[in-house]
Amino acid sequence: MRKPLDILRALADFDGTHTEPLRALLAEDLSPEAEDALLAALPGPDEVAATWLIKALAGKGRIGQGRIAQAFEAFGELSQPDAALHLMQSAQYAPDAASLLRPHLSPYYGSSGILLRAWAFDAYCRGAAPEEDLSERIRQGLRSRHAAIRARSKALARAFGVDLT
């Protein structure tokens, strides 16, 4: 079981490019105290590494939606685009918490980074209230000139049962 010191070391060892120190943490479960240490890194100088880990854990079903929601609550304070991207990508694993991201997404809608735009669109849709009809918005995404937005729109259409015929 990984402890808080393991988290702190891995975050410190991350050079911004090579994820090996972070991937090594995934070999064992994190203790609740290690999860606390991970979330305490948001926002801050280790936010890219911390959000990378949160996304990886979420993708493997190894961190609960409540913990992901805690990370989403820090979203508006993040300073690094990659950290924001990781949390937007995590919205698919925490649909009940995705609405926490919505108030903070508008700066990413016109981003020059197409992945930021595509995942902001995804997080926006996943954070919608159940009664909100996203069908037309998803169809508009399918007509985008950007492949990443079209791909997200297709994934969203499947997730929300939008008939594309």
| pLDDT of 163 | 87
Specify the pLDDT at position 64.
Answer: 94
- Among residues 118, 107, 102, the alpha carbon closest in space to that of 150 is found at 118
What pLDDT shows up at residue 56? 98
Look at residue 165 in the predicted model and tell me its pLDDT: 76
pLDDT tens-place string over residues 97-139? 999 999 999 999 999 999 999 999 999 999 999 999 999 999 9
Q: 94 and 64 in contact (C-beta within 8 Å)?
A: no
Please give the pLDDT value at position 121.
Answer: 97
Divide the 165 residues of the chain into consecutive groups of 10 and give the mean pLDDT of each group.
97 96 96 98 98 98 96 98 98 96 96 97 96 95 96 96 86
Closest CA to 120 of 134, 107, 137, 133: 107
How high is the pLDDT of residue 110?
92
Q: What pLDDT, on the 0 to 100 scale, is given for residue 164?
A: 81
Which run of H or of E encompasses 79? none
- Alpha-carbon distance of 34 to 92, in angstroms, equals 23
pTM value?
A: 0.95
Contact 137, 125 (CB under 8 A): yes
The alpha carbon of 50 is separated from its chain's Cα centroid by a whole number of angstroms, namely: 11
Note the pLDDT of residue 47: 98
For the CA atoms of 44, 47, 53, 54, what is the dihedral angle to 10 degrees?
A: 80
Spatial CA neighbour of 46 closest among 78, 68, 69: 78
